[in-house]
């Protein structure tokens, strides 16, 4: 009950913050909408009279391919940035040390902020995605449960990487090479904007080291082709294994960085 009350408090705080800065909220929402509209128009332009055999396994619709890639990147950014943003926000407000003196440990701070961000991102994406499906007559055959399960499972390794990023931020204060490198590699090698198969074979192997490659593939299969859980079980297992490796490592590295910053007296610096 206490955990649920705290979670509700964090979500309520974020809602108040969002609507307190109405101009920023509206502009941010419109920027996301306009960005995906651009993807939609580019996809519609490219699709005219063309056939795309490399994405036939996802239904062959280049517009749906682009839109789902953009959606997936929104969740990737959420997982990579939430934890370090939580620390930086408390540091900027000068409340990090006071927060640590309360009965809310770091893992709860991270959990509440992540769940709040996941909720807002999902509502935003559902609205925009539904609008685009209607505006551009995108062909989808969604397995809702399978798609949601894929998003939850791919969050496991991404949360691990997000924790590593937060650990780096505790030391560097500004500049996160881990998050930047992973986000860049995801855009280049995970099939977000083009199929993995078009890349030269000598660098294609990088794709299969990234959890996002499996998550993007499975999300398109469940969202566009209606694959069920049994059909995607191998990919889900791969992401779970990656999560079981990356989350403990991220937790360990964060503890090391936290203790180092605390001993040096730089914990609240930013």
Q: Give the whole-angstrom CA distance, residue 190 versus residue 74.
A: 14
Between CA 197 and CA 205 the distance in angstroms is: 11
Instruction: Give residue-wise pLDDT tens across range 81-125.
Output: 888 887 877 777 777 777 777 777 777 778 887 888 888 888 878
Domain extents in the chain: 2-264
Start-to-end C-alpha separation, the chain: 34
The structure tokens 């391919």 sit at 65
Given a contact cutoff of 8 angstroms between Cβ atoms, the answer to whether 4 and 12 are in contact is no
Residues of the chain with pLDDT under 70: 32, 36, 39, 48-49, 266-270
Cβ atoms 211, 158 nearer than 8 A: yes
Q: What pLDDT, on a 0 to 100 scale, did the predictor assign at position 89?
A: 77
Q: So what's the pLDDT on residue 268? A: 63
Task: Return the pLDDT at 265.
Answer: 74
* Residue 22 and residue 28 in contact, taking contact as beta carbons nearer than 8 Å: no
- Is residue 145 within 8 A of residue 232, CB to CB? The reply is no
DSSP conformation letters of 26-78: HHHHHHHHHHHHHHHHHHHHHHTT---GGGGGGTS-HHHHHHHHHHHHHHHHH
Residue 227's pLDDT is: 93
Nearest to 125 by CA among 60, 185, 69: 69
> Can you state the percent helix, strand and coil of the chain, rounding each to 5?
85, 0, 15
DSSP-assigned letter for residue 196: G
Q: What DSSP string describes 197-253?
A: GGS-HHHHGGGGG-HHHHHHHHHHHHHHS---TGGGHHHHHHHHHHHHHHHHHHHHH
């Amino acid at each position: 009950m206490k955990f649920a009350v705290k979670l509700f408090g964090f979500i309520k705080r974020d809602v108040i913050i969002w609507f307190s800065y109405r101009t920023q909220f509206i502009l941010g929402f419109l920027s996301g909408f306009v960005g995906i509209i651009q993807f939609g128009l580019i996809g519609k332009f490219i699709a005219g009279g063309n056939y795309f055999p490399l994405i036939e396994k996802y239904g062959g619709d280049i517009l749906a391919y682009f839109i789902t890639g953009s959606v997936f990147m929104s969740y990737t950014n959420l997982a990579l940035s939430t934890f370090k943003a939580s620390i930086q926000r408390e540091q900027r407000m000068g409340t990090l040390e006071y927060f640590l003196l309360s009965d809310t440990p770091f893992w709860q701070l991270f959990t509440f902020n992540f769940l709040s961000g996941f909720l807002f991102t999902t509502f935003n994406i559902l609205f925009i995605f539904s609008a685009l499906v209607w505006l551009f007559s995108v062909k989808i055959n969604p397995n809702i449960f399978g798609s949601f399960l894929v998003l939850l499972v791919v969050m496991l390794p991404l949360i691990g990487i997000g924790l590593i990023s937060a650990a780096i931020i505790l030391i560097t204060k500004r500049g996160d090479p881990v998050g930047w490198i992973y986000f860049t590699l995801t855009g280049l090698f995970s099939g977000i904007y083009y199929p993995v198969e078009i890349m030269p074979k000598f660098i294609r192997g990088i794709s299969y080291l990234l959890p996002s490659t499996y998550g993007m593939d499975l999300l398109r299969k469940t969202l566009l082709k209606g694959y069920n859980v049994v059909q995607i079980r191998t990919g889900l297992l791969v992401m779970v294994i990656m999560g079981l490796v990356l989350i403990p490592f991220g937790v360990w590295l964060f503890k090391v960085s936290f203790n180092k910053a605390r001993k040096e007296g730089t914990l609240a610096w930013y």
